[in-house]
């Protein structure tokens, strides 16, 4: 009899933990949905290089540019050329407490990477944490003249012209 109660108690505890985990997951899904649903009316949380340029030119102080490039040469690339005033935090280190503490929640956070792909990984989670996060379209490839990744991006854009990738059409 004692064993039966132990098994029942164990099952009860497991069910309680699972329902709590499900509730946490459902809450997280609702929060993600709220952020993603607002994306279209907010430029999908991207700004153009010209927007950032104009803000710098007007000496606006309501934004911070965060260079999130990674790779063995990323820090030296940052040191040799970056958006004026940008701070460097590699995207794979963004969620360390000491790095999050560097970022204000009362200003726009503009992420910049090589070509705009890696920075986009940060936007939704940072918004979930209460930051007003954006990516800069095309990253440094859209900012710096003759940036090495710009040629790569142009190659990606040109590829469909010669590849003729298949498309499916709905009736």
pLDDT (0 to 100) of residue 159: 82
pLDDT given for residue 123 in this prediction: 96
List, for residues 53-69, the tens digit of each pLDDT value.
999 999 999 999 999 99
Tens digits of per-residue pLDDT, 83-141?
999 999 999 999 999 999 999 999 999 999 998 889 999 999 999 999 999 999 999 98
Q: Phi/psi at 90 (nearest 5 deg)?
A: -55, 140
Mean per-residue pLDDT of the chain? 87
d(CA 123, CA 41): 15
How far apart (Å, rounded) are the C-alpha atoms in residues 33 and 26? 10
Alpha-carbon distance of 30 to 35, in angstroms, equals 9
Residue 170 to residue 121: CA distance in whole angstroms? 31
Tell me which residue of 47, 91, 51, 48 sits closest to 67, measured CA to CA.
Answer: 91
Q: Which CATH number is correct for 42-156, 3.90.1150.10, 3.30.70.20, 3.30.2130.10, 3.40.250.10?
A: 3.40.250.10
Q: Is residue 37 very low, low, confident or very high in pLDDT (cuts 50, 70, 90)?
A: very high
């Amino acid at each position: 009899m004692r064993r039966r109660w132990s098994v029942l108690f164990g099952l009860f505890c497991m069910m309680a933990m699972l329902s709590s985990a499900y509730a946490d997951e459902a809450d997280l899904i609702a929060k993600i949905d709220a952020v993603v649903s607002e994306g279209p009316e907010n430029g999908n949380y991207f700004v153009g290089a010209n927007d950032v340029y104009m803000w710098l030119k007007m000496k606006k102080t309501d934004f911070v540019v965060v260079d999130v490039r990674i790779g063995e040469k990323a820090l030296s690339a940052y040191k040799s050329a970056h958006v004026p005033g940008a701070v460097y935090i590699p995207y794979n280190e963004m969620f360390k407490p000491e790095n999050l503490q560097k970022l204000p929640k009362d200003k726009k956070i503009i992420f910049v990477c090589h070509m705009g792909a890696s920075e986009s990984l940060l936007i939704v989670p940072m918004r979930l944490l209460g930051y007003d996060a954006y990516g800069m379209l095309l990253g440094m490839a859209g900012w710096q003249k003759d940036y090495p990744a710009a040629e790569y991006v142009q190659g990606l854009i040109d590829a469909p012209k010669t590849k003729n990738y298949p498309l499916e059409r709905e009736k």
